[in-house]
Amino acid sequence: MAGGFSGETEIVSYKLRDSCTLVIHQGDITKWFINGENDAIVNAANELMLGGGGVDGAIHSAAGPELLRACLNVPEIQPGVRCPAGSARITEAFNLPVSHIIHTVGPIYDEEGDSASVLSSAYKSSLEVAEENHIKYVAFPAISCGVYGYPLEKAAEVALLTLKNHAGDLEEILEVSKWCCCRGKSPFPGCSGHGYNDVMIQIG
């Protein structure tokens, strides 16, 4: 398979179920791609979709100013909200090597609130947008694990359960390989992230 990213390192792999293998890699999500035709990375955006810190800022910086203009063209559904928490939108990727960017908004972590269901919805909505746009390969960041404060271990449980529950349809329909990543240390068994590397997980 073409693509990937320079310096890719496989850390561990194991079966999530009979038809689904989990493979953990390290790399830079803004440099990851498969073929530039039906691949996408997911941006952990905010509701206004105009860039920010963390992976959001890194993706906007790497994609170039055209991405901001494309986001401005996404209609606001209410003042200051283009992409509500738990939903997803899609744009072209411009200077990135992938074909598209899927923008999703995770929850600000609240231990007593409904953070898990909103986070799960962010992953699920991203997969649905990917399917609707015939994207076969998707790379996720660890949504909400930066300034939104979601604990990595708890976010990993939600992410993997959601991907596992919804991977089957995409694999069957589009032969999808799906990816997700965690910034810095990894909460996954057998993987110890280093510094600010991304830990990539392929499900396919």
Give pLDDT, residue 21. 58
- The per-residue b/e assignment along 160-184, b for 16 or more CB within 10 angstroms, e otherwise, is bebbeebbeebbeeeebbbbbbbbe
Spelled out in words, what is the top-level CATH class assigned to the domain 9-203?
alpha beta
* Distance of alpha carbon 62 from the chain centroid: 16
Looking only at the bridges linking them, the beta strands covering 88-92 and 39-44 are: unpaired
Give pLDDT, residue 136. 81
Question: Cα–Cα distances in Å, from 116 out to 69, 85, 101, 130, 202?
Answer: 31, 12, 23, 21, 22
Give pLDDT, residue 16. 58
Looking only at the bridges linking them, the beta strands covering 198-203 and 177-183 are: antiparallel
Print pLDDT tens along the chain (204 aa): 556 655 555 555 656 566 555 556 666 889 888 889 988 999 999 999 999 988 899 999 999 999 999 999 999 999 999 999 999 999 999 999 999 999 999 999 987 789 999 999 999 999 899 889 988 888 888 899 889 999 988 888 888 888 778 764 443 322 223 444 444 444 444 444 433 244 455 554
Give pLDDT, residue 172. 30
CA atoms of 77 and 37, how far apart (whole Å): 29
Active-site pick, 56, 114, 169, 198: 56
Q: Is-catalytic flag, 56?
A: yes
The pTM of the full predicted model, rounded to 2 decimals, is 0.81
Give pLDDT, residue 87. 98
Contact assessment for residue 130 and residue 39, using Cβ atoms and an 8 Å cutoff: no
Looking only at the bridges linking them, the beta strands covering 20-27 and 9-17 are: antiparallel
